[in-house]
Amino acid sequence: MQRIELDGVPLFTSPGPGRATGALVFGVGLRDETYATLGITHLIEHLVMGTLPKSHLDCNATVDVESTVFYATGKPAAVAAFLTGVCAALSDLPVERMEKEIGVLQAENCTGSHPTAAVLWAARFRLDGPGLALAGGGVPEWLTEAAVRDHARTWFVRDNAAALWHGERPDDLRLVLPEGPRPARRRPAVRVQTGPLWLQGPTAGAGLLLTVPDALDAATGVGVDVLTERMRDVARMERGLSYHADLEIVDIAPGHREVAVVVDAREGQEAEVARVLWEQYLDLCERGPSPAELEHSVQGFAEHLDSGDDVTLADLSRAAFADVFGLPFRPAAEGVPAWRSVTPEQVAAALRSCRPSAVLALPEKVDPGPLPGGIERTYLCNYVPVLPKGTTFRPSLLARALHKEARIQLVVTDTYLAHGDSDGDGHVIPWPDVEAAVPALTGNGVFVVGRNLCGIDVHEDVYGRRAVDAVRARLPQHVWVQAPAPTFGEAPVGAGVR
């Protein structure tokens, strides 16, 4: 593998098959958006792809939490033309196509990230960085052309890009991108926790999140690999509980990786799958893998290396990715001896050291029962058992008499906006933590979105005009967004009594 620079873009290249693969990687993804701009990166990707001439080239683009990638495989000249076309479109973004592409996105109805991973990231970062995935997957209908141009000009620039090329490289390959400094990527704040936690959220199955300081650490790599393999074996083979176990990995910054093990569960088996996941993790923390498991894991890694061109391509991709994000890189072939030298004790120690950061997620309303290992319950949003004291608004007496779901209340204080639901549960948003205020689609009202993942619906039809006025008066101008109501976490509260 060779690193060269082409038009100022680092290019990782290796000779290879007659059909070449080329890709452009940008250091921008959903984590770099805000609640008000959700989906803007995906829209830009669509605007770019929409300008390219139709061809038989095998090409596509993806936007995930961390990055945006444009890639193609085919005749070298055609792949080179594809990358040139991407660069040209980014240099002169066809914003006049916005409306059309928003329609395409609506039809695509893409859900974005794995729902369990999104819940876990939200547990770690709330409505910030990768945690935004919990509200993501929507269509950015309300964005202005200026906002879209601005996002592209900030993020889709030469210094925030890297490229890879596998195969014979044509001499006329060019990568002319708009100039611009590498944008400073904000590091989302981590929600403080002192020991393992479990919570419920809109997951699909169960998941376990661990903070890993060293992305290249072999003992941790083996540990999460064995845990995933155990979930496949124990859960699927022995108990028939689940279908899939996968790893979802996000590199937040150098020295900070978040690893999620996500496991499907059949309906009704979610609690059991979550319990197996947690118990197997604890067992590995205690005893480490068996010699056979260790051997199987290393062997799996080594066999993967025999797949030739795929390994080269994977190395090129990770090298380009690491370059954009300033992360350490190690070719896969050098990882095998590192994995081979790991002992069961080292694996156990590595997994133990992540334990204070562990978060176990289950679907809403699924109770795992008593769990070993000192894991405590927490809540995705800012749940409180007792509401703060302040000006209180309630639905009419008649509504409360007739409907249990109308026995709710809204509390407005100088410090907080709070809501109590009919089950007596409270949700609190400190005013400085308001991320967005979304006007009601009909009537006089506002949905207040907290960075702490609480969502509080304030509507005249429920609480009366004075309540809406009291809340509006405390919302600063910049939090108002024109956007559809969010889809995360608790249902829009009070919706049942509208």
Judged by the rule CB under 5 A, the positions of this chain that interact with Zn ion are 381, 427, 454
CA distances from 387 to 122, 413, 436, 453 (A): 23, 11, 22, 17
Q: How far is the CB of 486 from Zn ion (least distance, A)?
A: 12
Q: How far is the CB of 430 from Zn ion (least distance, A)?
A: 12
Distance separating alpha carbons of residues 264 and 362, to the nearest angstrom: 11
Q: How far is the CB of 387 from Zn ion (least distance, A)?
A: 12
Distance separating alpha carbons of residues 128 and 191, to the nearest angstrom: 11
209 vs 428, beta carbon nearer Zn ion? 428
Distance separating alpha carbons of residues 207 and 359, to the nearest angstrom: 8
375 vs 381, beta carbon nearer Zn ion? 381
Q: How far is the CB of 127 from Zn ion (least distance, A)?
A: 11
16 vs 494, beta carbon nearer Zn ion? 494
Q: How far is the CB of 118 from Zn ion (least distance, A)?
A: 17
Radius of gyration, alpha carbons of the chain: 25
245 vs 454, beta carbon nearer Zn ion? 454
Q: How far is the CB of 456 from Zn ion (least distance, A)?
A: 8
Q: What is the largest CA-CA distance in the chain?
A: 78
Return the SS3 of 59. strand
48 vs 380, beta carbon nearer Zn ion? 380
Question: Which residue carries 């590995």 as its tokens?
Answer: 284
279 vs 421, beta carbon nearer Zn ion? 421
Q: How far is the CB of 490 from Zn ion (least distance, A)?
A: 6
CA distances from 273 to 280, 311, 346, 427, 454 (A): 10, 33, 26, 29, 27
Other CB atoms within 10 A of residue 84 CB: 16
Q: How far is the CB of 381 from Zn ion (least distance, A)?
A: 3
Name, in order, each residue with C-beta under 8 angstroms of 175's C-beta and a sequence gap of 6 or more. 6, 7, 8, 9, 11, 24, 83, 84, 87, 161, 163
347 vs 381, beta carbon nearer Zn ion? 381
Distance separating alpha carbons of residues 194 and 212, to the nearest angstrom: 15
Q: Which residues of 291-315 are buried (b: 16+ CB within 10 A; e: fewer)?
A: eebbeebbeebbeeeeeeeeebbeb
69 vs 380, beta carbon nearer Zn ion? 380
